A and B are shown apart, each in its own frame.
Chain A
Amino acid sequence: MTIVLAFLAILIGIAAWWLSTQRIMSKPWLEIGVIDEPPAARPLPTAKIGLGVFLAVAGVLFALSISAYSMRLQAADWWPLPVPRLLWINTGLLILASAALEWTKAQSRHANLDGVRFGLIGAGIFTLAFVIGQLVVWRELVGEGYFLASNPANAFFYLMTGLHGLHVLGGLVALSRVTFRAFAADGARGDKIPGERGRLRLGIELCAIYWHFLLVVWLVLFALIAGWAGDFFEICRQVLS
C-alpha cells in the first residue's frame, strides 16, 4: 500500500498548496464587503478542472492496482510472463497518438482547421491500432498457454492491461465526439459563432491531457510487466525496512 500512499501524498500536497492560495488564514467574521478573488484564482475552464479531478480518481485506481501488484509480487509462486515484442510496437503507437494530439493542439491554436481534422483522425487511428494491438497480445499469450487463471502474474497482466484498455476506449468515445465536432465546424462559420471554436479547442486540449495521462500510466504498467520495476521495489523495500 506504500505506492498508493505515495500517490495520495502527492495529491494531498497539491490540495494543500491550492488551499494555501485560498486565504485559508483569513478571519471571515471580520471581513465585510465583496472580496474579489484575484483573477488568477479561477484561471482554468471548468471542464479542465473536472478532467483534472477525474484523472486524480483514475490515478488512484491505477496506483491501487500497482500497490496490489507489488504486494503480490513477493510471493514465491510468481512466474513473470514473457514480454511479447508487439508490446513495444503498441507502446510506440500510443506515443504517436499522444504526439498527434499535441500537434493537433498546436494546429488548433493556429486556427488551422484542416490540420486539426488531420491530427484528430491520426490520433484516432493510432489509438485504435493500440487497442487492437493489445488484443492481439492477449491472443498471442493465450495461444502460448499463459491463461488468466494459471498464475497470479498472468492475472495481474490481464487485469491491468484490461483496466488501461477500458480507459483508452472511454477516451476514444470522447475523441470521436471532438472529431465529429471538428468536421461539423465550418472554417468560415466557426469564427462567427461565438464560443464554437473555443469549444473545439477545449475539447482537443482535454483529449491531449487525457492521452498524455494514459501514456504515462501505460509506461509505468509496461515497466512493471517487463520486470524492470522489480528491482526498484526491492530497493524501496530495503529502504523502508
Chain B
Amino acid sequence: MVDVPLGAAGVPPAEVEDVELYHPKSWLTHYVFSQDAKIIAVQYSVTALSIGLVALMLSWLMRLQLAFPGALSFIDADAYYQLITMHGMMMVVYVLTALFLGGFGNYLIPLMLGARDMVFPYANMLSFWFYLLAVVVLFASFAVPGGPTGAGWTLYPPQAITAGTPGLAWGIIMMLVSLMIFIIGFTMGGLNYVVTVLQGRTRGMTLMRMPLTVWGIFTASVMALLAFPALFVGCVMMLFDRLLGTSFFMPEIIEQGARLPYGGGSPILFQHLFWFFGHPEVYIVALPAFGIVSDLISVHARRNIFGYRMMVWAIVAIGALSFVVWAHHMYVSGMNPYFGFFFATTTLIIAIPTAIKVYNWVLTLWRGDIHLTVPMLFALAFIVTFVNGGLTGLFLGNVVVDVPLSDTMFVVAHFHMVMGVAPILVIFGAMYHWYPKATGRLLSVPLGRFHFWVTFLGAYLIFFPMHYLGLMGVPRRYYEMGETAIYPQSAHDLNIFITVMALLVGAAQLVFVFNLIWSLRHGREAGGNPWRACSLEWQTPVTPPPHGNFGKELPVVYRWAYDYNVPGAPEDFIPQNQPPLAGEMAGRTP
C-alpha cells in the first residue's frame, strides 16, 4: 500500500490561483471573438470539419478521374495535381492537426484538468483567428490566376517553383503564406495547451492522474511546437527562392535551353526540413488519437485502463523517438546507405511503444463489460485499422522493401490507413462520446450505427485493394495510366471499384453531418454524465458547462480517472472528485 495522506472531508478549497476570467460583454465577444476555450473549440471543430468535407470532395474528383479517365472534362493533368496537393495539405494540417489540438485540445484540457479556462485566453482566441485567416488564404488560392499549387503536399523543390508545375504564379505563394500563418496561430494555441497542463491543474490532479487523452494532446502539442518551426523555416526559404531569387533549395537548372538565374541550392535540404516536421506530424495526429481511444475503451468497457503507467511512458517515448526517424521518408533521395540503416532501426524501434499501447488496449477489453455503443464501435475499429496500417509501416520502414514500393499505391494505402482512416475513426468516436457534454443531447444511435458500419467497412473496401494495386506497381500521383499496357485489366477494374466505394463512403458522411445538426434540437436529453464516466469533464455541475466550467469552487481530485467496477463501491464507477469511500483502501492490493 502506498502511503498517501488522505484528505479529510473538509479540505480547503483548491490552492490553484484562480485565473482572472475574462467576462464577455456582448453577443459578439461571447460567441464570435470569444476567449472561452469551449467556444474556441467549437469554432475550431466546425471550421476543420467543413474543410474536411471540401477535401473529401476533392478526393472524389481524383477518384473519378482515376476510374474513368477523361470523363470529367475539367480535370486535366494540372487540375489533378492541384486536387492532390490541396486534398493532402488540407487533410493533414488544416483538418487533423486543427481538429485534434485546436478542437479536442481546447475543449478537453481545461475540463479534464479541473481548470476554469486556458491560461492565456487572449492568445487562444488569436490562435483561432489566425487559423481561420490561414484557411481563407488557402481557399483564396482556388480563385487566383493559375489556380492553387500542384506541387504535391510535400511541396518538394525544385519542381514546386519551376515552370510546368501548376500554380507557379500565385498558388505556391498562397500555400506557403497560409502555412506560415497557420504555424504562427498554432504556436499561440500550443503554448496554451502545454502551459495549461503544466500550471492549470486543480488540486490533487497530479500528472499521473491525468486522463490519457490529456497526456496524448499534451505530448502532441509539445511535439508540434518543436516540429512546426522546421516547416516554417522551409516555407520562408522557399518563399525567398520564389519571390526574391535566392537559391536555398534551387540547383542550377537549364530550362528549354536557357539557364535559370538559380544555382547552387540543395533540394535535399528542403526534404530534411520538411520531414523533420512531417514525421512528427504523423504522431502529432496519432498521439491525441491514442489518448482518446484509451479513454473511450476504458469507459465503454467499464474497466480501468490496463497499464496506465506504461501507456504514459509509451506516449512520451513515441514523442521523443519520432524526432529521429524523419529520413525514412527519404530512402530514395540518394542519401548515404548508413543513414538509411540508422533510420530504419529507429523506425522499427518506435513499433515497440506502439505495440505496448495496442496490447494494453486489448488487455483493457479482456474480461471487460463491453458496451457496443457508437463511440466504442469506432474505438474498436481504430485498433484494428491502426494495427493494419502499422503492419504495412513495418514493410515500408525497411530500406530494401521500401525502394521497390516507393511512390506506388501501396504507400498511399499505408498512410491513408494509418494516418487518414485511423485518426478519423477516433475523431468520430470522440464526437459521439463528447457531443452530449458540449450540447446536452445525445447523437442519434441508429444514424450513428449506420454511419459507423458504412465508414468502417467502406474504408477497408477502398484502401485494402490499393495495397494490391501498389504491389502490382501502379504508381501514385499519375493522373491516368494512359497507354501503359503493363497493368492487367483487373487493375483498372479495381480502380473503378475503389472509386464507387469512395463515393459511397463520402456520401455516408452526410448522415453524420445531419446527425450533428438534427440532434442539436431533437437528440435525447443526455444529463450530466450519460456514459457514467469518472473523469472531471463529466462532473461539471451544469451541462453544457457554462463559462468558468465548475461553478463556484474547483473540484478537488482524489483518485485517477479509471475507477470502474471497483469491488465494494456502490456504483460501477467512482468519479475523480469523489473523496475516499469507507473501507475503500483495504480493498486495494498491489
B72 on the interface (CB 8 Å rule)? no
Given the known inter-chain contacts A29-B562, A152-B247, please indicate yes or no for A34 contacting B323, CB distance below 8 A: no
Residues on the B chain within 8 Å of A64, using CB: 229-230, 233, 273, 276
B6 on the interface (CB 8 Å rule)? yes
Task: Pick the contact of B560: A28, A68, A152, A155 (CB < 8 A).
Answer: A28
**Nearest 3 CB-CB pairs, A to B?**
A34-B7, A149-B245, A28-B560
Closest chain A residue to B192, Cβ basis: A50
CA distance A4 to B558 in the complex (A): 41
Q: How large is the interface on A (under 10, 10 to 19, 20 to 34, 35 or more residues)?
A: 35 or more
Query: Chain B 179-195, CB within 8 Å of chain A: the 1/0 string?
Result: 00000000100110011
Residues on the B chain within 8 Å of A23, using CB: 206-208
A82 CB to nearest chain B CB (Å): 19
Residues on the B chain within 8 Å of A46, using CB: 119, 195, 199
Q: Is B187 in contact with A34, judged by CB distance below 8 angstroms? A: no
Residues on the A chain within 8 Å of B324, using CB: 5
Residues on the B chain within 8 Å of A24, using CB: 207-208, 309, 312-313
Residues on the B chain within 8 Å of A71, using CB: 266, 269, 272
Q: Is B590 in contact with A27, judged by CB distance below 8 angstroms? A: yes
Task: Pick the contact of B304: A4, A12, A29, A42 (CB < 8 A).
Answer: A29
Most chain B beta-carbon contacts within 10 A, residue among A23, A28, A49: A28
Interface of A is mostly: helix
Q: Is A155 in contact with B246, judged by CB distance below 8 angstroms? A: yes
Task: Pick the contact of B5: A4, A30, A33 (CB < 8 A).
Answer: A33
Q: Is A28 in contact with B237, judged by CB distance below 8 angstroms? A: no
A239 on the interface (CB 8 Å rule)? no
Stretch at the interface among A51-59, A118-126, A176-184, A222-230: A51-59
Q: Is B276 in contact with A34, judged by CB distance below 8 angstroms? A: no
Q: Is B199 in contact with A22, judged by CB distance below 8 angstroms? A: no
CA distance A159 to B241 in the complex (A): 11
Query: Chain B 291-333, CB within 8 Å of chain A: the 1/0 string?
Result: 0000000000000100011001100100010011000000000
Closest chain B residue to A50, Cβ basis: B195
A40 on the interface (CB 8 Å rule)? no
Stretch at the interface among B257-265, B464-472, B492-500: B257-265
A31 on the interface (CB 8 Å rule)? yes
Within 17-72 of A, Cβ neighbours of B (below 8 Å) are at: 19, 22-37, 42, 46, 49-50, 53-54, 56-57, 60-61, 64-65, 68, 71-72
CA distance A33 to B203 in the complex (A): 11
CA distance A149 to B250 in the complex (A): 12
CA distance A199 to B209 in the complex (A): 32
Would you mind naming 18 contact pairs between A and B with Cβ atoms under 8 Å apart? Answer: A8-B226, A23-B208, A26-B206, A26-B309, A32-B558, A32-B584, A34-B6, A34-B204, A35-B5, A46-B119, A64-B230, A68-B233, A68-B269, A71-B269, A72-B266, A148-B245, A152-B264, A163-B236
A11 on the interface (CB 8 Å rule)? yes
CA distance A65 to B234 in the complex (A): 9
Task: Pick the contact of A68: B11, B273, B308, B316 (CB < 8 A).
Answer: B273
B353 CB to nearest chain A CB (Å): 15
B120 on the interface (CB 8 Å rule)? yes
